[in-house]
Structure 1
């Protein structure tokens, strides 16, 4: 057995390789995936029962590992991404604190990405600090997001050399603008919610704060929404695509139909960004505020991020 060195980073994974940390092993396999043309993810990470900060074993797999659970019939089904690819690399913690590669499977059951499209794979996408600084400067100068992305692509010799996509930049800008919101705007929102709560105790809202204790995600309902959901909440539509404000903060709306086929609203939200974690918080909050009554069906657009969050929180309802 031997430690991984700089030369090994250009090699294929092999049993008996030694890594100093779990993160080093992950990055090695991720670099291998980029060269080959496949995305990776952690299938599992086991930790010590006595010390949760110590990782005792882990397995990294091709992102196409597993078989997607079929939750229901869909009108416009998404392209299948999990096709039971068995490619993997497993590591175990040794007594000396290093990690031993004990399991490697290299066979894939699907075509690889080409070098020109490898940068779009999820595990390969990363917005560097240098690129973030350029985006900040260009955004503060008033450049539009498309112009920023095109400019950076030209400077890098092609967008494939950036290491991130337009969606990554879009989410970064939303995060930046959310953090840059004036204190008065957040305060005004809280004052409005508090006023509504005083006037009608049935008005309900929920806030999620970030690590700096700034407002991130917001969800609210009024008494009419709560009553309408209790009566007509079996079928729900959820959308964030039809409107955004000048700060690029996604506005989400839960809606349905009453017995007169009129549109009724079940809740509204302002989101920090359109990530799985934000959507999971939103769907869990929606259920909690509505007394954990689950809809029979949820309709939404063909967005993979929303779909993943719904399938984790409400796997039996998504269409």
Structure 2
């Protein structure tokens, strides 16, 4: 499984990043995983003068004082492998000054090299494809199988299904923190701080994505308690680029002025979404049922 990479003493790199990339590719071509060991720094200016890169099975795991509490300890994966490459700064470049090729463990065949952590990476193009597939409603397994066929097999894809799942989950967390959903949830949290009577709820799908959101502030809760015998549910509002329906529960006070009893952003207008919406609405209002409900013509309960 040699891809033509040649490692010998005196080989030079422009920087440490190039040296690390070479070591990763070299390990992949030979069938072993790699990791960084430790750098040596100049005490005066803190610059790295040398770096050692090793096999992923270098050394042995240190004893853990908590081991006696562990019912199913992790298996030992290190074997004390001595294989390593040391680069030293010479001028503005880094030169290989030490290389040991002495594995004491079996190497991986080409069919399994792609499973090594150091060989797995989702490129920008692959990340874009994963995001587009998810937005199109394609299941993660189907998306992964399709992309594997495009590349001629899973071993050529460069990442595993678990990597794809972790990437999409991380993206959702980033979107939750900084995207529209994150801003909305931050607003809800602030409302709870300002007024503990504020109510909000959201529904998530099997892939932990937010689908439906409902909220009602203290004024809405009080108005429903007083004037909630007759309510109107209107979902004709579409306020965002995704054309997601904004559902408004409204009514009239004793001055015939309009009042709001609650609001929701829905993913769609399916039976499941409306079932969740009505259950959540009653939960917000202490299970008080209205006597009459009027709905717009577009609603499909």
TM-score tier after normalising by the smaller chain length: 0.5 to 0.7
TM superposition shift of 1:88: 0.2
Aligned with 2:62 (options 69, 73, 78)? 69
Gaps of 5+ in 1: 1-7, 201-242, 249-319
Aligned with 1:92 (options 88, 91, 95)? 88
TM superposition shift of 1:198: 6.5
TM superposition shift of 1:31: 1.3
1:177 equivalent in structure 2 = 172
Give, in whole Å, the separation in 2 of the partners of 1:90 and 1:185.
Answer: 48
Confirm or deny: 8 A CA contact 2:8 2:96 kept in the other structure.
yes
Range 38-47 or range 171-180, more displaced: 171-180
Aligned with 1:149 (options 130, 144, 150)? 144
Aligned with 2:209 (options 237, 242, 246)? 246
TM superposition shift of 1:175: 2.4
Q: CA RMSD in A?
A: 2.7
Give deviations 1:46-91, integer Å, cap 9, x for gaps: 3445555x43211100011111122113211222112211110000
Instruction: Determine which structure has more spread, i.e. the larger CA radius of gyration.
Output: 2
Aligned with 1:186 (options 182, 186, 197)? 182
Secondary structure, in 3 states, of the residue corresponding to 2:8?
Answer: coil
Secondary structure, in 3 states, of the residue corresponding to 2:143?
Answer: helix
Give deviations 1:126-167, integer Å, cap 9, x for gaps: 111221122122111110111110000011111110011112
Give, in whole Å, the separation in 1 of the partners of 2:208 and 2:130.
Answer: 20
1:263 equivalent in structure 2 = none
Give, in whole Å, the separation in 1 of the partners of 2:189 and 2:41.
Answer: 42
Gaps of 5+ in 2: 197-205, 212-301
Give, in whole Å, the separation in 2 of the partners of 1:158 and 1:188.
Answer: 41
Confirm or deny: 8 A CA contact 1:22 1:55 kept in the other structure.
no
Confirm or deny: 8 A CA contact 1:118 1:124 kept in the other structure.
yes
Question: TM-score, length-normalised on structure 1?
Answer: 0.56
Secondary structure, in 3 states, of the residue corresponding to 2:182?
Answer: helix
Secondary structure, in 3 states, of the residue corresponding to 2:53?
Answer: strand
Do the aligned partners of residues 12 and 174 (structure 1) sit closer, same or farther apart at CA in structure 2, a change above 3 Å counting? same
Deviating beyond 6 angstroms after TM superposition, the runs of 4 or more aligned structure 1 residues are none
Q: How does 1:279-318 map to 2 (within 5 A)?
A: none
Secondary structure, in 3 states, of the residue corresponding to 1:175?
Answer: helix
Give, in whole Å, the separation in 2 of the partners of 1:173 and 1:92.
Answer: 39
The reply to whether residue 40 of structure 1 matches residue 34 of structure 2 is: yes
Question: TM-score, length-normalised on structure 2?
Answer: 0.59
Give deviations 1:110-138, integer Å, cap 9, x for gaps: 00111000001011111112211221221
Aligned with 1:112 (options 103, 107, 111)? 107
Confirm or deny: 8 A CA contact 2:10 2:96 kept in the other structure.
yes
Aligned with 2:23 (options 19, 29, 52)? 29
TM superposition shift of 1:186: 2.2
1:10 equivalent in structure 2 = 4
